[in-house]
Structure formats: C-alpha cells, structure tokens
Amino acid sequence: MFAVSGHVKNPGVFEVEYGVTTFRDLIFAPQYAGGILGDRALKAFIPGGASAPWFFDEHLDLPLEKVTVDRAGSMLGSGAVIVMDETTDAVKACLRVVRFFARESCGKCTPCREGTTWLQNILQRIQDGYGRPTDLDLLMDVSDNISPGITWPPKQTTICPLGPSAVSPIASAMQRFRPEFEARIAQAEEARHSVPVNFTKASSHG
C-alpha cells in the first residue's frame, strides 16, 4: 500500500504489486495517481515520507522495492509518496519539511533541539527575503553537525533519527536546486542595496 499526495490528479492510497510497479506507474498511471495536475512537468518526489531523500526524473523507473530504492539513495519508509511539480518553490518545500521536524523534536539532545531550530530559522530567513550569502554554507554546516558527512544512510550525533530526518530535504534540495536558493538570496541582497531616491521640486517664493 502506497499513499500518493501532492501535485497529482488523483491523490489516494493504492495497492500495488511490490517489486514490479514503478514510481512512474504509481504517479502517472490512470489506475493510480493519474499524472501531475495540469499536465505540468515533475520537479521532484519524496518516495517514503518526509524523512526520505528526494528523488527526481531519473528515478521514476525504479520499482517499488526496498533494496532497490535504498541503493538509489533513499527509502520507501512509510510508503507516503509526495509529488512536486515544476512550479514548486524548493525553498518553501524544504522549509515546510524542516519546520515539521523542528516542531516534533523532543528537545532532549542538543544537536537536534538546536540544530533543527537553526535550520528552520535560516530557511525562514531566505524564504522571507532576508537571506545572506553565507546562509547556504551555514545550512550545510549545521546539517553536518546533526548528520556528519550528510550521507545516506545517515550518520547521527543525535539520540534518535529525527535530527538527520530534517537534514534529508536540505541535502536533496541543495544537491539539485541550489541555484534557486542562490537566486533568492541574490534578490534579497539586491533589494537591500537598492536605496530609493525621492526627488522633490524646489518651491520658489517671491
């Protein structure tokens, strides 16, 4: 059983043939999710819930099978497939996932409690138009403190896997969509350095 949500025509829970049905079948076949809304292009999909690294076009023909998906660098996890179309804002999507994990952190261990909060705050700053040129390196530095090496399967400095789960969307988004983050920060920098000039007419007396 796999649940498909996001930018699809027919979101729902579907019974599939394990190891035979592919992600392409699940997302695009009429008996399953029926394709992407508005027939737009696929940007990315999350194959196994929010903690799973993102997949892209080149992963569509992978079968829904644990070992194959693991070897490709993600996981089937909870079986919750989240589809993002070409209009998806990578910064916003990343922020939403990280915000969830920051909220769910129990706070018992410092790397997770502080790290997920830092990740959320940095992404929120970028999303709100106040991003700084150093923010992307800072994101990766904080991520590395939570999950050393930012590898898959993840390593962790935390008590449980929740902390590294917050790193997954950042690692995926930065791998594929870093230019989007850079452009958002560049726009913010340009806006901050644009000083409006008001011209007023001199009034004459006499």
Give residue-wise pLDDT tens across range 135-147.
999 999 999 999 9
**Cα separation of 107 and 103, whole Å?**
10
Fold of 90-193: de novo design (two linked rop proteins) (1.20.1440)
Look at residue 28 in the predicted model and tell me its pLDDT: 99
For the chain, what is the mean pLDDT? 94
Q: Are strands 80-85 and 42-46 parallel, antiparallel or unpaired?
A: antiparallel
Fold match between domain 2-85 and domain 90-193: no
94 is written with which tokens? 């990343």
Can you give the residue ranges of every domain in the chain?
Answer: 2-85, 90-193
- Is 90 exceeded by the pLDDT of residue 162? yes
- For tokens 């399967």, the residue is 153
Query: Which tens digits make up the pLDDT trace of 95-121?
Result: 999 999 999 999 999 999 999 999 999
**Cα separation of 14 and 63, whole Å?**
15
- Is 80 exceeded by the pLDDT of residue 194? no
pLDDT band at 150 (very low <50, low <70, confident <90, very high): very high
- Is 70 exceeded by the pLDDT of residue 148? yes
Fold of 2-85: Ubiquitin-like (UB roll) (3.10.20)
Q: Is 61 exposed, middle or buried (0-12, 13-18, 19+ CB in 10 A)?
A: exposed
For residue 122, give every residue at least 6 positions away whose Cβ sits within 8 Å of its Cβ, in sequence order, or none. 135, 138, 139, 142
- For tokens 């901050």, the residue is 192
19 is written with which tokens? 């190891």
